[in-house]
Each structure stands twice: as C-alpha cells, then as structure tokens.
Structure 1
Amino acid sequence: MTSTSSSSSASTDVLPVEQYVARLARKRMAAGVLFRDAEDRVLLVEPSYKPNWEIPGGAVDSDESPWAAATRELAEELGWDRPLGRLLVVDYVRPQDSRPEGVVFVFDGGVLDATDMIGMEFVDAEILSVGFYAPDQVAERVKPLLADRVSAAMEAVDQGTTVLCEQGRRID
C-alpha cells in the first residue's frame, strides 16, 4: 500500500507560540468570601485605605489560584485559616475607574456565630473593623457593583448553585 501525502507550505499567518501568548488579553482577578450569620446578614470589612466596605478578599496574585487568594486574604485580613465552601459567583467586570477588565470569584464562607468571631484579629492595619449587615445596609456601605454581586451570591446560596454575572448582575 502506498501512502500519498500532500505537503502544504506553512501559513505565514501563524505566530510562534511566544508571540501569540504575548498578544493574549490580560485580565485582573479578585476573590472574595461571603460569610453570613444566622439572620442572613453579610459580614463586611471596613478597609483603612478606602471609604467603601468590602467582603473579605482581594486581588489574585501572579501564579496564584482564586481559591488560594481567597484563603490568603482571610489570613491577612482577619487572621483566619478556614476552608472555603463552594464557588457562588463568577463575575465579569468591564474596564472602569482606570482598571482593566477582570473576573471576580466569590466563595461561600458559611454561617458564622459569635464563637467564630472570637479568633478574629486584624493582622495588619488594612482592616479597621468588621460587622454583619442586612441587605439594605450592605447596599449603603459598599459600591453598587459589589452590592449586586453580594445579592447574586445570596441567591446562589439559597438556590444551591453557582451564578454567572456581568457587572455584578446575574446573567440568565
């Protein structure tokens, strides 16, 4: 049996891998953790470096997974070493306020009680205080984008699912 092959010249449109990778979009990533109490109030942290409150979490470092970042941020901000629950939200955020587009992950931290708060310590000067807040109080303290994301995360908890969002709003 004779095999016939046709050889075609390599396309000049194909870039070497290094050049292709260098042209790929870069997205910032962040990861947060949604903690609640028995009354379905949300744990917020008061940062020292900006006026709006946040859920515990922060930027994902280079070569770090979102879940590792969330765990690291809990240790840095609150002195906690806790396992993360399931993924609640994946939120695509368009470029804004001189920040590039990004992807934000929110993990379930579970329900906390007074004894869980005992081990909390503000390891550095990044966090001034923490507190549990009802949904309307969350909206008063955080940026609208985060308020929408927290609302989506609470829906995900109630529905036992992961919610996809764009700009904090659930996409269906």
Structure 2
Amino acid sequence: MTTTSVPGEPLGTRMSDEAYGAQRASAALWAGTSVLITNQLGKVLVQHVDYLDTCLLPGGAVDKSESPAQAATRELAEELGVTTTVDRCLAVDWVSPDSISAPTAMRFPGEILHVFDGGTWDEDQIGEIRLPPREITAIEFVEPAQLPDLLSPPDARRALSALRGRINAAGTVLLENGLPLAPTVLDRLGVLQTARPTYRYPWQHGPAPHDLTIAQVWAWLFAPDGRVLVLLEPDTGVAILPGGTPEEQDQGDPVSTLCREAEEEAAACFGDPLLLGHVTDPTVRRGYLRYAAALTNVSLAQPDPATGHTYTRILLTPEQATDLFDWGPAAVDQLAAVHQARRHLGFPRAARQSVTQLTGPTAW
C-alpha cells in the first residue's frame, strides 16, 4: 500500500500500488530534449526541416528507458552526424497542453523539455556536420534576435531563455512555457531579442591615426573582482560599453569625452584610463577608441541627457560582455588587449558567474 494524496482527498489517504500507478500515469507528460549550439560569433544553430514551416534546435523526443542527456546525444548523431556528449543542462521547461497549437488527435498532455548546452563550435566542428537524407534539409547559424522570426513562439522563448541562462552562468534555469520562473535582469530586459550592436572591424593596437575621425570613445571599466561595467538600454536590452560620442565641449580630448559620457550614462567615475587601441570603419574613415580603467564609484543612475534613457548597469566578466556584442572575429584580439590591461591594472581574472545589477551607489 502507498500513502499519498489524491485531488479532493485528505492527506495521508492510503492507496493500492495499482491505484497509485494509474493516478500517476493519468498525469504523465511527454519528455523532450533540445541542444543549444553557437558558433564563435555567438550565432545559434537552427535546423530547417521538411515537416514544419518553422525551424528547430537539434533535439527530439526522449525514448523509452532513455535519459534526456542520452536523448540529446542520440539526436545530435541522428540529425547532425556528430558524436559528442552533452552533460550540462541549461534549462528545464514545463510546457503546458494549451501553450502550443497541437492537433486534438495528438492528445498532447504537456511536456517536460530539457535544453542542453552543446557548446561553441569552431569551423572544424561545423565542417563535420553531416545531415541525414530526410527530415533535416539545412542548418544555419543565426543571430539570437532572429530566433523569434524562425522558430515557433514557444521554441523561440525557450531558446532565448536558455541562451541568457548560459550567459548568466547561474546553473540550470527553470522555465514555464519558455519563460523563467525567476527572471534575471537579462530576462527582464529581453537581452538578445533585439539585434546585438555590430562593429565587425579589425582591431588595431595603440592610438588612432591623426587623419581618422573619432566617432566613439568607449571603456572597459573594471571592478576589483575583475568584472566590467556594461550598460543595458531599458527598452531593448541592447548592451553598450560606457562612453559615447565626442562633443565640442570635450575640445578634441577623448579622455574628456569618456569621463563626461560615463558620468552621464552610468553615473560612473574611474581612475586614469589606459588606451587599448581602436577599431576602424575603413569605408568612412571613422574610428572607435577603446580604453580600460579602474572603476572608483557609481552613484544613483540618472537619465542620459542625450537619449533620456536610464540605463541598467551590470557587472559581468569580459567574456560574458562580448557575448552581448557582434564584433566579428576581431573580438578575440580586443579581448586579449582587455586582459592585458586588466593585468596591468592589477585585477584578477574573474570566473564566469552570475551577472550583478548595480542599483544603488557603490564605491570601491
């Protein structure tokens, strides 16, 4: 005999094992799995299939006596021809029966769907993909902001939530119909649902040429634990580094621009900045300077005079920060320069960890 509770019965009601099994079977859900894979530019792998108008992440149903992780490994082999092991779960989603437009004949009872981290694939790994003769007609890597256009709404919500969870590095995220039960600042602002800022220009060390028009001056501002300050736009969740556009009052001094913009946008002050280098748009001879400095304090956030936005301020590792930008292959070179400056400034290399929002005055 099993002691359990049934809806409408008092706690502690004793049931036969047969009755208990029948009750649990009546509440059974399907089990599914999917795998989130990105390339080195932060784009997400999606599959075009011959049985749907929308795309899918790799994955499928969990077979009888199979664990979700085993199912994910099997699906990667069947759909992409790749043998690998997945052992990190990004999200577990409870999918309600009424959340998708399943045909009545399918008798969809709801689903528990695991989203696993397939990692970041380089060109050699991508080159090993071999598609099956049926079902998967093509694969492509797409910007996160394109997922709602390519996937069904529930699948897009789930994929973006899992991707934010991977960036946030806080462990497995619990979802209901694709939305997190405990939204982080990245979720609340819809980070990655709007196209990432794109500056796919070559990285150049040192000062910019004198004949180059400086269009922007930005900085990597370090907290003592080695993380950096990033600003998120309140309406779009788009990420920017502290800094901005030179104005006449700056008298051609990029450090003056940086100080003014960091105060206006982030209410942030910092120590003596180090010039890291610049990226250049060769088509219009415009340059974008990058500095590094130690944060000294932030005060209460105020609306930016230029935009009227009050930016959300977060601390995260430089690697997490670059996930929020579309800087192309040159991002690797800039990141190396950032860490060189970090060592020069005497800060530790921060371990990947949960994003921290700065809501009030903080001094270091």
- Which TM-score applies when normalising by structure 2? 0.43
Identity %: 35
Is 1:169–2:171 an aligned residue pair? Answer: no
Cα-Cα RMSD: 1.2
> Structure 2 stretches of 5 or more lacking a match?
1-12, 183-364
- The residue type paired with residue 107 of structure 1 is F
Distance 2:97 2:133 in 1: 30
Counterpart-to-counterpart distance in 1, 2:57 and 2:47: 6
Asked if the contact 2:69/2:87 (under 8 Å) is kept, the reply is no
In the aligned structure 1, how far is the partner of 2:69 from the partner of 2:34?
9
User: Paired residue for 2:28, among 26, 29, 51?
Assistant: 26
Specify the code of the residue in structure 2 equivalent to 1:165.
L
Moved over 4 A (4+): none
Q: Is the 8 A contact 2:62 2:71 kept in 1?
A: yes
SS at match of 1:128: strand
Q: 1:118 aligns to what?
A: 127
Q: What is the alpha-carbon distance in structure 1 between the residues aligned to residue 87 and residue 138 of structure 2?
A: 23
Question: Size of the alignment, in residue pairs?
Answer: 160
Task: Say which one has the larger Rg.
Answer: 2
Instruction: Give the letter aligned to residue 123 of structure 1.
Output: P
1:19 deviates by: 2.3
Gaps of 5+ in 1: 1-12
Higher relative contact order (CA 8 A, sep 6+): 1
Partner of 1:151: 160
What are the residue-to-residue correspondences of 1:38-49 with 2, within 5 Å? 38-49=40-51
**TM-score in terms of structure 1 length:** 0.88
Structure 2 counterpart of 1:139, from 138, 141, 148:
148
Deviation at 1:83, TM superposition (A): 1.4
For the pair 1:105 / 2:89, whether they are aligned, the reply is no
Deviation by residue 1:118-150 (Cα, 9 ceiling, x = unmatched):
211112401000000001211111011111111
In 2, are the aligned partners of 1:77 and 1:124 still within 8 Å (CA)? no
Equivalence for 2:39: 37
Give 1:32 deviation, angstroms: 0.6
